[in-house]
Amino acid sequence: MKKLIFTGLAITWMIGSGCQKFLDRKPLDASSATNFLANQDEMEQGLTGVYAAAFWAFPNNTPLLFAVEASTDLAIKRGGNAEDAVAMGDGGPFLVNNALVNTCWSQAFRLVQRANQQLAGMENGKANVPAATYGRIRAEALVLRAWAYFNLMYQFGDVPWYPKAPGVDEVLKAQRVPVATIVAELYKDLDEASAAFAAANAQPILANGRVNRGVALGLKAKLALLIKDFRTAATATKAVIDLNQYGLNPSYPALFMLAGQTANTNREIMFNQTYPTDQLNPQNWGPILGVPRQVTNSQSSHFPTQALVDRYEDRNGNRIDQSTTYSPANPRVNRDPRLRWTIYMPGDTMSYRTLTSPSLPYVNPMERTIFNIHSNTRFRWNWTLSRYDAVTGNNDWIGAQAAGIQWQVSATGNIGGVGYVWRKYIDSTQYIWEHKTGYILMRYADIMLMYAEAKVELNEIDATVLTAINAVRNRAGQPSTTQNTQAALRQLIRRERVVEFAGEGLRLFDLRRWDIYGTANSGPVVGFALNPAVAPANPTFDANEVPNYSASVNDRIRFRNQVRTNANPRYKLWPIPQFEVDANPDGMKQNKDW
């Protein structure tokens, strides 16, 4: 008797293929391969449904890839969450039914299904639409399908390949296809998409939140890096650069604010997950997860780690363990400006719009607070008296646990953070519970650093490599590098990708393809100085820029005593969701050692 387990892939394709009369109805937000897409308006409407399937969230309104970032060495999610279990590895416990893992799988294959429906349904109206328009719409669907597969493969490895929408029986008998095989097919899709965008004379950015020719080429480069095809990665990124249609925004902070994204100076933002500004829902809850508990209406639960903080150089371009100007006693000063643009450290002044209307004296409607973790005091700006007031009662105080007054998910709580909170994506012009800033999925700085990386790995180090790296560094105010050896530049690029893209969901991809996930995401998670009068020793760094805190672990905040254990080779990939293995035990073999 055939198993009646219709979850994950099976239920997705059952709904899409209409195996019951009720499900044969014309879909409201997706295309149907049999009764829709007969003209351009319907094709555009169907494409909207594909984009809707690319809107990934976990949980609630949190951008999915921001949640994924919390499973890496750069961040720590409050205890008891799926992201935290993934990050912990053997100590999680990280189980095959983990909700983050299941969501990444299901949402990506939902996008694959929607894109396949669009591609098949468009054939109904091909004769009714100008060839260039038809090609552009098809190109967008091809890129979105490739985006889904890119994420699936760096997370899970070999997965089923569906070049067209399958029936339920096909899904239940699907086989896992090697990554290299799928990448070869996606290369062809993305080449077709790139040519179609060009033939349609499409704008460099079609509209905020839509894919384009640059994204097609950039995604091809990402797929190439995944399989270490550095020649293709270099060629694809060079093609984007040679288009002369994209560039760096002169203001790094503007990239993460709504007004800055709307202006999109130099078109640095190539693809992002957008949020409607003409209606309340959905919102981007990534920012609210970073607001510390000492601020009104706060909900912090996603925190940066010391391993991120210490990757930022001093202003002279030196790593902190090699710097003559960096001071462990005052780590906020004389640093790469991207540190203060990305993270709030103790002593920093934070500004949030925490209420929809003024509530004097401390909200007007802005709330300004000096981030403090070392006393039971909140330093709040008094808008009436134009001064900071010392207000007793601080949920983020490191001594609050002993006093029994702390909610334990605070910035220093025993299931919370290690003394830091996020600043990136915090837009003080917006109410923190109704953020509409898009979550960036690809930007030009990534293209430049991928180009540099590919050329370095090919050992083709020339002026173009240094130009790409230094453009990103100089935009932040960091000095140019003059390194010219493969080993030195590889190390610099790995550090540069951390500090440039922290919190943007790229880290797991980088760790996996560099084969350093187990090393980078193992060991104790530490934070700011436990006692500000005792400066912790600097970490040491290995060749992959992974810090070691054995000399300072007892001088740093780590109330959670979290020790991550990811050395087991099985953590090189996530497990296939158990519901898929149960539904198709012959074809959907589990990843090794799970």
Give the model's pLDDT for residue 414: 87
Q: Is the pTM of this model over 0.75?
A: yes
Q: List the single range of 242-246, 492-496, 558-562 with lowest mean pLDDT.
A: 558-562
Which residue did the predictor score with more confidence, 591 or 2?
A: 591
What is the chain's mean pLDDT, rounded?
Answer: 93
CA 304 – CA 503 distance, rounded (Å): 8
In this prediction, residues 367-382 reach a mean pLDDT of 97
Give the model's pLDDT for residue 295: 95
Helix (H) or strand (E) run with residue 540 in it: strand 540-541
CA 86 – CA 79 distance, rounded (Å): 11
CA 400 – CA 375 distance, rounded (Å): 9
Give the model confidence (pLDDT) of 193-232 as tens digits: 999 999 999 999 999 999 999 999 999 999 999 999 999 9
Q: List the single range of 30-34, 55-59, 136-140, 327-331 with lowest mean pLDDT.
A: 30-34
DSSP 23-70: GGSPPSSS--TTT---SHHHHHHHHHHHHHHT--BSSTTSBHHHHHHT
Q: Which residues contact 214 (CB under 8 A, 6 or more apart)?
A: 204, 240, 243, 245, 246, 270, 442, 444, 447
Residue 11 banded pLDDT, cuts 50, 70, 90: very low
Asked whether 266 and 246 are in contact (CB, 8 A), the reply is yes
Give the model's pLDDT for residue 565: 96
Q: List the single range of 96-110, 406-420, 540-554 with lowest mean pLDDT.
A: 406-420
Give the model's pLDDT for residue 404: 64
User: Dihedral sign, CA of 85, 88, 94, 99?
Assistant: positive
Sorted by where each starts, the structural domains of the chain and their CATH numbers stand as 9-281 (1.25.40.390), 291-420 (no CATH)
In this prediction, residues 237-249 reach a mean pLDDT of 98
Quote the distance between the C-alpha of residue 571 and its chain's center.
Answer: 19
Give the model's pLDDT for residue 408: 80
Give the model's pLDDT for residue 24: 31
Q: Is the pLDDT of residue 12 over 90?
A: no
Give the model's pLDDT for residue 63: 98
Asked whether 342 and 424 are in contact (CB, 8 A), the reply is yes
Q: Which residues contact 340 (CB under 8 A, 6 or more apart)?
A: 332, 348, 423
Give the model's pLDDT for residue 402: 66
Q: Is the pLDDT of residue 22 over 50?
A: no
By three-state DSSP, how is residue 286 classified? coil
Give the model's pLDDT for residue 356: 84
Give the model's pLDDT for residue 59: 87
Q: List the single range of 9-18, 28-37, 215-224, 513-522 with lowest mean pLDDT.
A: 9-18
Query: In b/e form, how buried is each residue of 97-111, taking b as 16+ CB within 10 angstroms?
Result: ebbbbbbbbbbbbbb
Burial of 487 (0-12, 13-18, 19+ CB in 10 A): exposed
Give the model confidence (pLDDT) of 61-97 as tens digits: 999 999 999 999 999 999 999 999 999 999 889 999 9
Q: Is the pLDDT of residue 406 over 70?
A: no
Percent of the chain exceeding pLDDT 90 equals: 89
